[in-house]
Amino acid sequence: MAVRHEWSIKYRAAILERDPAFRLFRMTEASDAIQRRMGDLEETSDERRKLENALQSLNVLRDRPA
C-alpha cells in the first residue's frame, strides 16, 4: 500500500486549483511541504527527484498567466 505524503496531497490540490484567489496560497503550501520533505531525504533518492520535478512544475505554473 502506497503512503500519500503531505506534500503530494498539497501538490495535487495546488495543480488542480482553478480559483485564482486560492491558487497562490495552495502553491505556497505545496512548495513548503515539498521543501520540508526534501530535507528528510538523501540527495540521490527517487522520491527527492520527484520532489524536485514537482517544485519545478509549481514554479512553471506560478509564472504562467492566470
* pLDDT (tens digit per residue) in 13-51: 999 999 988 999 999 999 999 999 998 888 878 888 999
The answer to whether residue 22 sits within a structural domain is yes
CA distance 60 to 62: 5
Q: Reply yes or no on whether the pLDDT at 54 is more than 70.
A: yes
The answer to whether residue 1 sits within a structural domain is no
Q: How confident is the model at residue 66 (pLDDT cuts 50, 70, 90)?
A: low
How far, in whole angstroms, is CA 60 from its chain's centroid? 12
The answer to whether residue 20 sits within a structural domain is yes
The answer to whether residue 10 sits within a structural domain is yes
Residue 29 lies in domain? 6-63
Q: How confident is the model at residue 5 (pLDDT cuts 50, 70, 90)?
A: confident
Q: Reply yes or no on whether the pLDDT at 4 is more than 80.
A: no
As a whole number of Å, the end-to-end CA separation of the chain is: 37
Domain count, the chain: 1
Q: What is the dihedral angle through the alpha carbons of 33, 36, 41, 43, rounded to the nearest 10 degrees?
A: 100
Per-residue pLDDT at 41: 82
Q: Name the amino acid, one letter, at 9.
A: I
